[in-house]
Each structure stands twice: as C-alpha cells, then as structure tokens.
Amino acid sequence: MVRYVAAASAGLTAGCFGGVWSDPRGSVVVRNEDDTAHRVTVTPTGGSEAASEQSAGLNASESVEYADAFAGGSYGVTVDVDGERAGSDDLGVGECERIRLLVTVTGDGETEFQQSYCD
C-alpha cells in the first residue's frame, strides 16, 4: 500500500527551505519492508537548523510519499525508526526537478537511503 501526502506544512516553505516554493522540488518516499510496523521520522536539515520533519506509522509492506517535500539546494537528512537514530545522509537537489529520496526499512530492520540524481 502506498499513501501520498502533499507536504503543505508551512515549515517546509520557511527557514532553511527558502521561504517560497521554487523549482526544483523533490519528494520523500518512506517504505517499510520489515514484517513489523515501525514509526519512521525523516528530518531534513539545512545548516544548523532542523526543517520540518515528516513522521509516519507504517505497517509491514506499507509506504508513504511526501510530495514537494523540499526545494533546490543541499540538505542533511536524519532518520529515526521507533524513536532511535537509524541513520543520516546528504541530499543534494541542486537545480534538478523531481528528485526523490527513498528511505527504506529493510526486512532485517536496517535503514537504506537512495536518491535520484540528474545531470
């Protein structure tokens, strides 16, 4: 099952995300491939300030997508699973449109990051 969520939060359009939506934009997809339900929290950061975080309770084999979750630029991303830090990664959007960050909780409980890129 995939849930789609429009990121209409004011926090995503303020602070380190630049104040106004601008192309390029990207989305965050969170998948739970584990046999157990998990609460997954994704927090993009810019500089030293945390931007608006997205959190979802996902059953086994469920996913959620946050469309237009960030604008162009470079961010750090931290992921917590069930309240514990699971990992972090760098997210470089640059001038690309429709970049997708995929965060997956695997069947063995590990957390993986994948990011689409453009030239």
Per CATH, is 2-113 categorized as 3.40.50.261? no
The predicted-structure confidence for 26-52, as pLDDT tens digits, reads as follows 788 999 999 999 999 998 877 444 456
26 class by beta-carbon count within 10 Å (0-12 exposed, 13-18 middle, 19+ buried): buried
Task: Note the pLDDT tens digit of each residue in 68-106.
Answer: 777 767 778 899 999 999 998 887 766 666 778 899 999
How much is the pTM? 0.73
- Domain ranges in the chain are 2-113
Query: How far apart are alpha carbons 35 and 49 in whole angstroms?
Result: 34
